[in-house]
């Protein structure tokens, strides 16, 4: 494995453990973005382009348009792409440094970037969005509050809304690791969103294995529609 990648992984594990022990499971994200000091190589999930599976999924669904909400937007590439193709986009992250970084990267953007916690969102986001995008968010949320996180996300959907999730897929019954990312099981995902209509659940292997899984782990892209 790439040594630098392995160093970053170990650093993240340590930061996540400390944050967890302080009862602040998301505290390490701000620390990571702040310490990265605008060097995207130090943010292991930063692709600096929209996720190709998001692009493919949206491109195949011309009927999905309107207002989009990007949950945990990181460095903003997914949000910017959605805005470019015509969505009115709100993108939020719990880390202030990530949102500042997005604003610096895209100074002329009309994306509404904001610092917010998925667990304490503004009330006016409820029933508001045609598309909710979560890429690699549920998989970084500890198991004891993951059900609650999934429930929160679906509350943002309007009556015609779609929820799109991309993440690591859990295929074997393995013991949960102490630090994220935690692959998600299909059964858990489908049960969390059973009040919605399943549009697709597709397994894939990431071509761009920039997070250094050897061998590459299976991923999923799944979507649900409020009906």
Ligand X SMILES: C[S@@+](CC[C@H](N)C(=O)[O-])C[C@H]1O[C@@H](n2cnc3c(N)ncnc32)[C@H](O)[C@@H]1O
Mask for 8-27, x = binds ligand X (CB under 6 A): ------------------x-
Beta carbon nearer to ligand X, 54 or 157: 54
Q: Which residues in the 83-142 window bind ligand X by CB under 6 A?
A: 93-95, 98, 117-119, 135-137, 140
182 near ligand X, rule: CB under 6 A: no
Please choose, from the candidates 88, 52, 56, the residue with its C-alpha nearest in 3D space to the C-alpha of residue 70: 88
Report yes or no: 157 and 129 within 8 Å, Cβ to Cβ: yes
Q: Least distance (Å) from ligand X to the CB of residue 32? A: 8
Neighbour tally for 13: CB within 10 Å: 15
Give the number of residues in contact with ligand X, rule: CB under 6 A: 17
Rounded distance between C-alpha atoms, residue 63 and residue 106, angstroms = 27
- Helix (H) or strand (E) run with residue 91 in it: strand 88-93
Compute the radius of gyration of the chain from its Cα atoms.
17
Mask for 139-178, x = binds ligand X (CB under 6 A): -x--------------------------------------
Q: Which residues in the 54-73 window bind ligand X by CB under 6 A?
A: 72-73
Q: Least distance (Å) from ligand X to the CB of residue 37? A: 16
Q: Least distance (Å) from ligand X to the CB of residue 148? A: 10
Q: What is the DSSP string of 164-227?
A: EEEEEEE-S--PPPSSS---EEHHHHHHHTTTSEEEEEEEEE-S--TT--SSPPEEEEEEEE--
- Token pair 């509050």: residue: 145
Q: Least distance (Å) from ligand X to the CB of residue 227? A: 26
Residue ranges in contact with ligand X by CB under 6 A: 26, 29, 45, 72-74, 93-95, 98, 117-119, 135-137, 140
């Amino acid at each position: 494995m790439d040594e630098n990648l392995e160093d970053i992984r170990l650093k993240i594990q340590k930061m996540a453990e400390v944050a967890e022990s302080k009862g602040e499971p998301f505290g390490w994200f701000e620390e990571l973005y702040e310490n990265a000091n605008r060097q995207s190589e130090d943010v292991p999930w930063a692709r600096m382009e929209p996720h190709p599976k998001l692009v493919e999924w949206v491109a195949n669904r011309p009927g999905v348009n309107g207002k989009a909400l990007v949950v945990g937007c990181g460095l903003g590439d997914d949000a910017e792409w959605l805005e470019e193709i015509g969505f009115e986009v709100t993108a939020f992250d719990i880390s202030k440094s990530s949102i500042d970084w997005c604003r610096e990267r895209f100074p002329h953007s009309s994306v509404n970037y904001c610092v917010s916690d998925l667990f304490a969102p503004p009330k006016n986001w409820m029933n508001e969005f045609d598309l909710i995008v979560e890429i690699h968010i549920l998989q970084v949320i500890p198991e004891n509050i993951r059900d609650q996180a999934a429930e929160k996300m679906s509350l943002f959907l309007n009556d015609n809304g779609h929820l799109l999730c991309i993440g690591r897929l859990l295929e074997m019954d393995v013991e949960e690791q102490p630090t994220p990312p935690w692959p998600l099981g299909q059964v858990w995902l489908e049960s969390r969103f059973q009040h919605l209509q399943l549009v697709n659940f597709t397994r894939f292997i990431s071509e761009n294995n920039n997070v250094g899984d050897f061998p590459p782990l299976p991923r999923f892209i799944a979507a649900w529609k409020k009906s």
